[in-house]
Amino acid sequence: MVEFYDTRYLFSDLGQFVSRYNLSTLLDNHPFGHGLCLDGGVPDWTLTDACFGKVQGWLKNLDLMPEKELDHV
């Protein structure tokens, strides 16, 4: 699971929890470099195409998924 927090609001050590996604959803089921809406009710909680592409690249480089699952990412 990959969690996203807004560090502007200190509801926890990490900030305010915004959203959580399965790693495979972010890498396998979501087109690379397309934006991601983390919460439709809060416009600030959206990642731009460029930002989410960086997140996907970072996640892919962590080598957390079996190679066979990453072949088509």
For 34-63, what is each residue's pLDDT tens digit? Answer: 789 999 999 999 999 899 989 988 998 987
**How many other C-beta atoms lie within 10 A of the C-beta of residue 37?**
12
Q: Where are the beta strands (DSSP E) in the chain?
A: 2-6, 16-21, 36-37, 46-47
The answer to whether residues 62 and 55 touch, using CB atoms and an 8 Å cutoff, is no
Statement: residue 69 has pLDDT above 70 = no
Domain count, the chain: 1
What predicted TM-score, i.e. pTM, was given to this entire model? 0.76
Domain that holds residue 7: 2-70
Report pLDDT for 67.
Answer: 58
Mean pLDDT of the 18-44 span: 86
